[in-house]
Amino acid sequence: MTEDKVLAFIRGSKEEYISGEEISRSLGISRAGIWKYIEKLRRNGYDITALPHLGYRLTHTPDKLIPTEISWGLDTKVMGRTVHCYNSTDSTNRLAYKIAGDGAKHGTVVFAEEQSAGRGRLGRSWSSPKGGIYMSVILRPRLGPQDAQRVTLCAACAAAAAIRKTANLRSEIKWPNDILVNRKKICGILTEMKAEQDRISFIILGIGVNVDPPGHQLPRCATSVRNETKMSGVKVRLAQEILRFLEAYYAKVEKNFGSVIEEWRNFSATLGKRVRVNTHEGMLEGQALDIDEHGALILRLDNGFNKHIISGDVEKCC
Ligand code: BT5
């Protein structure tokens, strides 16, 4: 879109101010046309100072999950190179599933500022007020369905690492898909897939992070970046970090998954602990020993046997 070109031009300028004439000449738009686009950018939350004889200067960018902000400075090769951004939707996972079925490329991401029907696992819901990151990444791994959990573990490492780097918080992973800070959930991951018998056709990796939502709109056991740090205005930066780390971990998902497991162990709030895990076979209790090559949790049961659990819920901590 033309206003994106105008914005990129102002942003990329080495001078403090860039003249309307220069933008006009370079982009082949009239001065009046430039003014129209500046007004549109302002309506989208950009503060642009305009001074006669000097020109334009960008003084504030919105912390919104919109294409211009997500792509600015993003150095990934695949993750997030194509994005679809919504102010509000029911569920980014639902939308991503639909466009993946229509052929959307590996690495495409659907973002929303809020969701009216955010999905958790097993029919649970994900509270999604404004002030969170709601994103769904379309992935096409060359893996069998039994290895889909690997992708969840990559995403958990990426989200935990991004939260540590952006907010300097000690984020930990509760197997399989919860990111906790001070034992409260700050991020959840929902991996959904379409698969044939021995091949995944695509995975929709849904990630929800509480950044600075109104406190009363989160469940009791939840926290947010804002609650923990008082930071605000970090949504875009955090989303970009998630994409960067995801690209790095995902590069190892097919052939070098052992190195992801090692990283995962460093983030784990589960290993070494006595845990109760709700599984489709009922509640299992034991010592959380490790993760296997499929991403399953290895539980040492009280009878001395090891049980590999591919899906389940470790009981809540708070
Ligand atoms: C999850 O499920 O943790 C997966 C959450 C995935 C959300 C993303 S947002 C983008 C994408 N689009 C979607 O529609 N979904 C994905 P689960 O492990 O089932 O946890 C759900 C439980 O977490 C709920 O039953 C609540 O107890 C709790 N919960 C709900 N909303 C929360 C929030 N905002 N923060 C922390 N905990 C929450």
**Using a 6 Å cutoff on CB, does residue 177 contact ligand 1?**
yes
Average pLDDT of span 127-132: 96
**Using a 6 Å cutoff on CB, does residue 191 contact ligand 1?**
no
Considering only CA atoms, which residue is closest to atom 21 of ligand 1? Answer: 120
Considering only CA atoms, which residue is closest to atom 7 of ligand 1? Answer: 208
pLDDT at residue 317 greater than cutoff 60: no
Atom of ligand 1 nearest to the CA of 207: 8
pLDDT at residue 119 greater than cutoff 50: yes
**Using a 6 Å cutoff on CB, does residue 56 contact ligand 1?**
no
pLDDT bucket at 3, cuts 50 / 70 / 90: confident
User: 80 with 62: CB under 8 angstroms?
Assistant: no
Longest dimension (CA), the chain: 81
Task: For a ligand 1 pocket test, name from 97, 114, 126, 186 the mutation site with the most ligand atoms within 8 angstroms of its C-beta.
Answer: 126
CA 55 – CA 49 distance, rounded (Å): 8
What pLDDT, on the 0 to 100 scale, is given for residue 315? Answer: 84
CA 147 – CA 140 distance, rounded (Å): 13
Atom of ligand 1 nearest to the CA of 94: 14
Per DSSP, the three-state class of 32 is helix
Q: Which tens digit of pLDDT belongs to each residue from 164-223?
A: 999 999 999 999 999 999 999 999 999 999 999 899 999 999 999 999 998 678 898 999
Distances from the Cα of 94 to the Cα of 5, 8, 190, angstroms: 31, 32, 11
CA 64 – CA 221 distance, rounded (Å): 26
Average pLDDT of span 100-128: 97
Q: 310: which residues sit within 8 A by CB, 6+ positions away?
A: 146, 149, 294, 295, 296
Distance (Å) from CA 11 to ligand 1 centroid:
36
Considering only CA atoms, which residue is closest to atom 3 of ligand 1? Answer: 188
Atom of ligand 1 nearest to the CA of 313: 18
Q: Which tens digit of pLDDT belongs to each residue from 31-55?
A: 999 999 999 999 999 999 999 989 9
230 or 216, which is more confident?
A: 230
DSSP H helical segments within 86-234, as ranges?
A: 92-101, 148-167, 225-229
Average pLDDT of span 134-148: 96
User: What does pTM read for this prediction?
Assistant: 0.94
Q: What is the number of other CB atoms lying within 10 angstroms of the CB of residue 301? A: 12
